[in-house]
Chains A and B, each alone.
Chain A
Amino acid sequence: MATPAINVQNLTKNYGPVLAVDDITFEVKAGELVGFLGPNGAGKSTTMRILTTFLPASKGYAWVAGFDVMYQSMEVRQRIGYLPESVPLYPEMRVREYLSYRARLKGVERSGRTARLDYCMERCRIKEVKNRLLGTLSKGYRQRVGLADTLLADPPVLILDEPTSGLDPIAHSELRDIVGSLRGEGKTVFLSSHQLADVELICTRVAIIHNGKLLITGTIKELTAGDVTEITVQGAQMNNGMLPKLKAIAPVVEQSNGMLQMRANEADKIAAIIDAVRGVKGDVVSIVPHKRTLEEVFVETVQKEEGA
């Protein structure tokens, strides 16, 4: 069996009494592009910092490219590219000078360094700003410089912490496309993001974490499987005692101007909704199949955990 690119076993991290990561276990296979999702403060960045050997775990184990992050940290660091959230840069350095410095830190051979720098700048579309001061770059360019930095030593595993956060739509889609294209190069990408549409578009699998606990992992296909039926109803008595009855049958996803939108995936529930609406002389406006999105899965999963 092939060694997983990332293997996390019962990983726990606490800052004093605060449990940031609570006994999580998951695997990322080589060549996969996995989205690591969770609300703010869920433990994503902490997990990523442990994987990059920056923080020690309180309990549990993690291996990256087969090396223990705790005891073989240099081997791990030689095999990862890490892009932290809001790429920290030296404002007074120029783009090329910065990347050249990074390449030396990563031990990129002197003979191939210039070619590698050119390739990474080309790949991340930053060649046109190579002589600009980092402090004068827009956020989109800063993120791309950060991504070019992660690619310099051609690492097999990339750990990207919210790479598209705070970017304008164009910069956002450009960066997303660059990240998505890394899968074709055989790289393993483990990325955290709040942009669920992006994750759905480029990732093969996701892991959802909340309050330090791993709630669910699976492929996008598995998680969004099971189409539901969306029923829109309206009626004058909708607000007079009917609403709680309908809510007891199935969840209401939207309510406006006397109209209700509900979702159900079982035939008897759909029939119950229709009967209840007709009973109060309401109208069924539409019944359409609805494909679940990752965002819905994420919200449901997190809300269920919060409810529990």
Chain B
Amino acid sequence: MIAWAIARQTVNEALRRRIMWVFLISGFALIALMPLFGYLAPKDSQTVLRSLGLAAILLAGLFITIVTCIYLIPVEIERRTIYTVLSKPVQRYEFVLGKFLGGFITVAINILAMGVVFLAMLYLQSLRATTDQGLWVWITSGSFAPEMVRGIFMTFFQMLLLAALTIFFSTFTTPIVNFFLSFGIFMVGNLSSVTDSLTTNSNPVVRGAGTLIHYLLPNFGNFNIQNALIHPTNEITNPVEYMRNNIVYALIYSAVLLILAIIVFDRREV
């Protein structure tokens, strides 16, 4: 209950931050500009639109997650509001959980908003009738792209994992260090196919480092199913099982990171 109160306050606070709105509006702008790119490749406009839309959500989601979560705990310490929180009947784990929950709800609201705009744009692009045929005929002549929801859904869990990682680092690093660490790990984690190939390298040093990186760092690459969604040739054999496994992976990995964050924060003298 207390974690929920902290989460609510965190969402309100995060939604008031201008930097988050800059990234959200940039995401909206990228999605809104999709049709322009579609005109550049008229034969394959739907592919371009889908690809760019999902990429825009991922990119904006990435920056929103990092800039939202890196400040949540350090700013409470810096402006000393933490004194007034932890002197109340609030456990430290409740504080960390509340901050994580609030940060992630903020990110989820943003992804949802961008997802809705993206699906609406795709729908508008798919309208076949013209306005001359009547407004109702025109508005109902399009088709939804339900498979795109899966892409947005996976981005959602990718950001959950990133939020947990950022919160973990924020318990012992400064926001600037956290930004580079989280961003760097996200990038490396997205290259899971590369790190996977390193695990079988003939050089034992490279193989050892590759194995460590591949298994220790979160595998963000597995959440990128855009290719499979957009290009039918790359379809995943069993998409439900694939998604379920990766969602379970994100939940377990995030839980472990949060437990570590709580342990670190519990021992820290703030």
A149 touches B89 (CB 8 A): no
**Interface 1/0 per residue, B64-105 and A, CB below 8 Å:** 000000000000000111011111111100000000000000
**Interface 1/0 per residue, B57-68 and A, CB below 8 Å:** 000000000000
**Residues in B neighbouring A275, C-beta threshold 8 A:** none
What distance in Å separates the Cβ of B56 from its nearest Cβ neighbour in chain A?
28
The answer to whether the Cβ of A182 comes within 8 Å of any Cβ in the partner chain is no
A74 touches B91 (CB 8 A): yes
The answer to whether the Cβ of A52 comes within 8 Å of any Cβ in the partner chain is yes
Give how many B residues have a beta carbon under 8 Å from the other chain's beta carbons.
Answer: 22
- How many A-B residue pairs lie within 8 Å, measured between CB atoms? 61
**Interface 1/0 per residue, A100-117 and B, CB below 8 Å:** 011011110000000000
Please choose the segment from A21-29, A75-83, A169-177, A198-206 that sits at the chain B interface, where 4 or more of its residues have CB less than 8 A away: A75-83
What distance in Å separates the Cβ of B3 from its nearest Cβ neighbour in chain A?
10
The answer to whether the Cβ of A296 comes within 8 Å of any Cβ in the partner chain is no
**Residues in A neighbouring B83, C-beta threshold 8 A:** 49, 54, 82, 84, 88
A106 touches B88 (CB 8 A): yes
Complex interface residues of chain A between 81 and 104 (CB less than 8 A to chain B): 82, 84, 87-90, 92-93, 97, 101-102, 104
**Interface 1/0 per residue, A34-54 and B, CB below 8 Å:** 000000000000000100111
B89 touches A90 (CB 8 A): no
Given contacts A93-B13, A104-B2, contact A78 B84 (CB under 8 A): no
Complex interface residues of chain B between 1 and 43 (CB less than 8 A to chain A): 1-2, 5-6, 8-9, 12-13, 16
Q: How far is the CA of A92 from the CA of B80 in the complex (A)?
A: 15
The answer to whether the Cβ of B147 comes within 8 Å of any Cβ in the partner chain is no
Q: How far is the CA of A92 from the CA of B6 in the complex (A)?
A: 15
Given contacts A104-B2, A105-B6, contact A84 B89 (CB under 8 A): no
Complex interface residues of chain B between 178 and 220 (CB less than 8 A to chain A): none
A88 touches B79 (CB 8 A): yes
Which of A93, A101, A146: most chain B CB closer than 10 A? A101
Q: How far is the CA of A262 from the CA of B207 in the complex (A)?
A: 86
Q: How far is the CA of A27 from the CA of B2 in the complex (A)?
A: 32
The answer to whether the Cβ of B132 comes within 8 Å of any Cβ in the partner chain is no
The answer to whether the Cβ of A55 comes within 8 Å of any Cβ in the partner chain is yes
A89 touches B81 (CB 8 A): yes
**Residues in B neighbouring A102, C-beta threshold 8 A:** 84, 88
A105 touches B90 (CB 8 A): yes
What distance in Å separates the Cβ of A193 from its nearest Cβ neighbour in chain B?
18
Given contacts A92-B16, A101-B9, A105-B5, contact A82 B89 (CB under 8 A): no
**Residues in B neighbouring A106, C-beta threshold 8 A:** 88-89
What distance in Å separates the Cβ of A69 from its nearest Cβ neighbour in chain B?
11
B5 touches A53 (CB 8 A): no
B12 touches A105 (CB 8 A): no
The answer to whether the Cβ of B269 comes within 8 Å of any Cβ in the partner chain is yes
Q: How far is the CA of A80 from the CA of B87 in the complex (A)?
A: 8
Q: How far is the CA of A88 from the CA of B1 in the complex (A)?
A: 23
B80 touches A84 (CB 8 A): yes
Q: How far is the CA of A102 from the CA of B85 in the complex (A)?
A: 8
**Residues in B neighbouring A88, C-beta threshold 8 A:** 79-81, 83-84
Q: Residue of A at shortest CB range from B82?
A: A88
Given contacts A55-B269, A92-B13, contact A105 B79 (CB under 8 A): no
What distance in Å separates the Cβ of A21 from its nearest Cβ neighbour in chain B?
15
**Residues in B neighbouring A97, C-beta threshold 8 A:** 12
**Interface 1/0 per residue, B91-122 and A, CB below 8 Å:** 10000000000000000000000000000000
Which of B87, B90, B91: most chain A CB closer than 10 A? B87
Q: Residue of B at shortest CB range from A52?
A: B87
* Residue in contact with B89 in the complex, picked from A87, A89, A107, CB distance below 8 Å: A107
Which of A82, A97, A102, A104: most chain B CB closer than 10 A? A104
* Residue in contact with A82 in the complex, picked from B5, B12, B81, B84, CB distance below 8 Å: B84
Q: How far is the CA of A82 from the CA of B90 in the complex (A)?
A: 13
Q: How far is the CA of A268 from the CA of B190 in the complex (A)?
A: 91
Q: How far is the CA of A104 from the CA of B84 in the complex (A)?
A: 13
A101 touches B89 (CB 8 A): no
Q: How far is the CA of A92 from the CA of B12 in the complex (A)?
A: 9
**Residues in A neighbouring B6, C-beta threshold 8 A:** 105
B87 touches A77 (CB 8 A): yes
**Residues in A neighbouring B90, C-beta threshold 8 A:** 77, 105
Q: How far is the CA of A177 from the CA of B110 in the complex (A)?
A: 48
Q: Residue of A at shortest CB range from B270?
A: A54
Residue pairs across A and B with Cβ atoms less than 8 A apart, 23 shown, are A53-B87, A54-B83, A74-B89, A82-B83, A82-B84, A84-B87, A88-B84, A90-B9, A90-B81, A92-B13, A93-B9, A93-B12, A93-B13, A101-B5, A101-B8, A102-B84, A102-B88, A104-B1, A104-B2, A104-B5, A105-B85, A105-B88, A107-B2
Residues of B within 8 A of A (CB): 1-2, 5-6, 8-9, 12-13, 16, 79-81, 83-91, 269
Closest 4 CB pairs of A and B: A104-B5, A88-B80, A82-B87, A52-B87
Given contacts A77-B90, A104-B1, 19 further A-B contacts (CB under 8 A): A52-B87, A55-B269, A77-B89, A82-B87, A87-B84, A88-B83, A90-B79, A92-B16, A93-B13, A97-B12, A101-B8, A102-B88, A104-B5, A105-B5, A105-B85, A105-B89, A106-B89, A107-B2, A107-B89
